[in-house]
A and B are shown apart, each in its own frame.
Chain A
């Protein structure tokens, strides 16, 4: 197995795990983590895509760095919202999903 394939498979596994978390978790923090997993998986795959033809391609690296910054800001905002919501409601879940708990 070549390095590139390994990268691609790792990316796919991360996306899959994140996807599972997204569906299974109701706690908002877990969901945000799941998003980050999916995002990381995609970036790993993008990195692998950049290695085509053996020559190093700088574009994916630039994209990944930008993407990480974007994902970080999104996560920060999401976590901030979760904290505010948890303070207001007492629980870190959306009202319509907060059942039996």
Chain B
């Protein structure tokens, strides 16, 4: 029975996806029930497993493919961290999306591919072997395309093409890296670091670089980040999916897997590739913030903010000292919670007030108090205001940098906090301290849009306030680090 748990987790998304495709547009009830039911079931399964895994249980399923292709699904602590994030956010996003789409057309297609994306993300989280990771990683690329181009207009199609233009070459390089590696070591399983000594040093470095390019594209590491801001053409639930639930998270998670489970900390240090990655991540953090500052559209500013924030996870992985790892892993969850709050709110401003530009936010705070309160909470968390979630991760990253003897990272973190404040505070000032334009509208009459935002904001708040609890994201990240990487 326990061997079936990983499969069951996958099926909770795959079954709704498969059925949704064949539903008629007007079977709203059935489609919503399917998708909500799947999301709830998955959340329930995860809660049921949480304590067992905390106690050291591991669930795994192997599906044999052709020799060399091992499809291994395994639920360990790190997998559960990612999968519980995506499951929780999927549930919220499903509620939000049902309200967002209302009676708009092509919903069966949307929810079909949406669930397929979550299926792929779950697969990425549960992958216990390199090749299963790649299979689900590619599945995610493909199932995201119809979502980004969902509106079927020229801008969406351009955005979707730009996404593939980044994604396919990078994943080809990832495949080359995997094949190169596995031709020397045989199939790579994550629970035992493979012996790479059959390859010479420069080959190992080249493989590492190829890996980082392959997974870093999804994590939007500069200069592979261009697709993310242009993907803003997609509907708001898709943005939430790209920025918080699935895509960039899969990229960051991939970097963690590559550094810790494919190469291992010792080898990364030995090869001298950890520091260059940390520098790259730092550059991304700063560049994303600077670009965010220049944007006048809310969603674009949030998108560049994602570019910047996701690299905090990469930075944590690259520094590879205990505190940095904990900070990075915790930020995987923290950033997801805060960013999804912000995107939910941006979508509500767009839908209910017709506001897309920052200039339109003037005075909206009192008109749409719930939304604006959530937005403010998310933004302050991103800046790193204590005791919010963002603060906790920045502290851990800072200590981790000192442990790794990379004090310059403190300067990067400081600068990024200032920049975050510079691009978020003006928004908050407009919301709460400016007079609204005379013709301004805006209401919060659709609770199904607002409730997910409130829940996500509260979760982000809780993750910061309750950081000391063992089941908080930080506590869980500490557990993973102690169990997996500091053996």
Answer yes or no: A and B touching, Cβ < 8 Å. no
Residues of A within 8 A of B (CB): none
Residues of B within 8 A of A (CB): none
